[in-house]
Amino acid sequence: MSFDVETVRKDFPILSREVHGVPLVYLDSANSAQKPQVVIDAEADLYANHYANTARAVHTLGSEVTTAYEAARDKVAGFLNAPSRDEVIFTRNITEALNLLAYSFGNATWFPGAEKFRIGPGDEIVVTEMEHHSNLVPWQLLAQRTGATFRWIPIDDEGRLVDSAIDEVITERTRLVSFVYQSNALGTINPVQRIVARANAVGAYTIVDAAQAAPHLPLDVQALGADFVAFTGHKLYGPSGVGVLWGRYELLADLPPFLGGGEMIETVAMEGSTFAAPPSRFEAGTPMIAQAVALGTAVDYVTNLGITNIREHEKALTGYALEGLRGIPGVRIVGPRDNVDRGATISFTLAGVHPHDVAQLLDERGIAVRAGHHCARPVCVRYGVPATTRASFGVYTTLDEVDQLVQGVESVRRTFG
Amino acid sequence: MSAPIDSMYQQIILDHYKNPSHHGLLDDFDAEVHHVNPTCGDEVTLRLKVKDGEITDLGWDGEGCSISQASTSVMSDLVVGKPVADALAVQQRFLELMQSRGQGELTDRDEEQLDDAVAFEGVSKYPARVKCALLGWMAMKSAVAEAGWADTEEVAG
Ligand SMILES: Cc1ncc(COP(=O)(O)O)c(C=O)c1O
């Protein structure tokens, strides 16, 4: 199927609305993506025609809902090229997926049979300097709980990991390496296989934060080679309230549970309980049923557009935008300046103008961008800026919208000039 | 294409941002405060001098978004040389305007009392930015208290 952005735009009802009397130009997809009508309909259809609780009811609706929920798991497994559907766990978002891992690793301290996950004093947990707070704070907390040392791979002036540091920071003491595939603050695409190979060489577990990668890059867990990969539904044109954790089955089978509750057990007695096999082991309580089902629809939608078509489309937009923004006096790109190993997310500063003023003035022209530290404060500290303005693109972004962004930023510059 | 007529960024705001009044810290002062606004990372350090119930001088230094810096500048112009009670009354009126969510009605008296500060009316429509506009004003209020002139009733009495 060929990719036609004008056709794609028709799938997203919100794109026909106006803000401040002008057409919306939505350049904040890295924050959260807009939803195609099929996703909106999928959620509504489940409530309107099938709704009941999942997994616990023998009646017709219950079985329809369970089938729909499990079908969504199959779709996600296919999207990830996962060897088994039982490796796909639905969570509330990627933040919960990463915390699930951090707490499960922490529970290994006392959980019978989980010795291989134990982390303690003398062990090291490694992240990178470009992590989203979601993939940073849970590991800091795990290090504090277990007495392990928290370390990170630094970033260079261009917003890339310092390659030599990968081998220096990941050592025999490293037990776990958790890192972002594509940075939300810089746009950088990291060398996943290189990091995984190094971690494997020292026997450390690997976790990939694919929140920003999932909507833009092929996400083949077997090719990536990591032990765990997580993403969040709302950035993948799916609903808010659902995310995914994928993990190797043999690891999930032994990993201690995180939340306890209904459906995650094998048997419960007052003296103690035993736990279900994955994925149920990690899905305590009534899940986000409609959201998971609609995420399945979003996965189909993205798959139908073709992730390589999407990547090509966004790469063209990114190159065009980088060129346009670099041409504006006073603009500094925070992150890779060239369109190589970088995604469709561009952070920048404009000399003498605070990012919130840039974003506010762009909003007056209907252009939605994000301003702030993008939940990756250490990145701003690294580049000595309080915040950046960030434009990010998606399947529905057009070259004309990039032109409007560049003209908008130029106009902000003149307003403050 | 310039910003829309109803832009938050009125020319007065841009002018104050580029050429702020009372910018620079005083060497001789009765109180100093430092306020921050985590939303934009705005910061202001403000020093003032009060004599016989009047704000005789005020100087500030800061960094952050144009709304916070320009608002601090406008505030300085309005309160220097005023009795503390009057300064706090203007502060109160400005606070009400900022909390009006774009629904504030400006009377002639307000226009007179608030002067350049009426340019910030548009900010009240954006709850996320109200804190920016209030930063310097809140700092002034705390500095007055710090200098021992908080209770205006008593001052007046
Ligand atoms: C790289 C990255 N990781 C994690 C997250 C957290 O996503 P969520 O808030 O959906 O859990 C985000 C979203 O901002 C992100 O960009």
- Say what the pTM is: 0.93
Determine contact: A357 vs chain B, CB below 8 A: yes
How remote is the CA of residue A331 from the centroid of ligand 1, in Å? 26
Q: How far is CA A43 from each of CA A32, A79, A374, rounded to the nearest angstrom?
A: 18, 20, 29
DSSP output for B101-126: TT-PPPPHHHHHHHGGGGGGGGGGG-
**Interval A27-37 mean pLDDT:** 98
Residues of chain A with Cβ-Cβ distance to B126 below 8 Å are 360
How remote is the CA of residue A374 from the centroid of ligand 1, in Å? 9
**Interval A231-248 mean pLDDT:** 98
Question: Where does A5-30+306-410 sit in CATH, by number?
Answer: 3.90.1150.10
CB pair distance less than 8 Å for A387 and B3? no
- pLDDT at site B156: 41
**Cβ A209 under 6 angstroms from ligand 1:** yes
pLDDT tens digits for range A83-115 = 999 999 999 999 999 999 999 999 999 999 999
Residues of chain B with Cβ-Cβ distance to A19 below 8 Å are none
**Cβ A353 under 6 angstroms from ligand 1:** no
**Percent of chain A residues past pLDDT 90, beyond the cut:** 94
Higher pLDDT, B150 or A411: A411
- pLDDT at site B5: 57
Q: What residue spans define the domains of chain A? A: 5-30+306-410, 41-303
- pLDDT at site B155: 44
For the domain with range B11-148, which CATH number is right: 3.40.190.290, 3.90.650.10, 3.90.1660.10, 3.90.1010.10? 3.90.1010.10
pLDDT tens digits for range A327-379 = 999 999 999 999 999 999 999 999 999 999 999 999 999 999 999 888 888 99
Mind telling me how many Å the CA of A314 is from chain B's nearest CA?
27
**Interval A53-59 mean pLDDT:** 85
Mean of the per-residue pLDDT values of chain B: 90
Q: Residue A127: which of A154, A109, A103, A101 has the closest Cα?
A: A154
**Residue that is written with structure tokens 């028709």 in the block:** A10
Does residue A228 register a pLDDT over 80? yes
**Interval A207-215 mean pLDDT:** 98
- pLDDT at site B106: 83
Q: What residue spans define the domains of chain B? A: 11-148
Q: Which residue of B has its CA nearest to A362?
A: B3
pLDDT tens digits for range B87-134 = 999 999 999 999 998 887 888 888 889 999 999 999 999 888 999 999
- pLDDT at site A234: 98
**Cβ A395 under 6 angstroms from ligand 1:** no
Residues of chain B with Cβ-Cβ distance to A415 below 8 Å are 2-3, 9, 14
CB pair distance less than 8 Å for B9 and A357? yes
ipTM of the complex: 0.86
**Percent of chain A residues past pLDDT 70, beyond the cut:** 100
**Which of the four pLDDT bands, split at 50, 70 and 90, describes residue A6?**
very high
- pLDDT at site B154: 47
Between chain A and chain B, the number of residue pairs with CB atoms below 8 A apart is 48
Distance CA A161, CA A347 (A): 17
Quote the tokens at residue B136: 């310097």
- pLDDT at site B4: 55
Mean of the per-residue pLDDT values of chain A: 96
Determine contact: A356 vs chain B, CB below 8 A: yes
For the domain with range A41-303, which CATH number is right: 3.50.90.10, 3.40.640.10, 3.40.190.10, 3.40.50.800? 3.40.640.10
Does residue A26 register a pLDDT over 50? yes
- pLDDT at site B149: 86
**Residue that is written with structure tokens 């915390």 in the block:** A99
Q: Residue B93: which of B121, B68, B127, B55 has the closest Cα?
A: B121
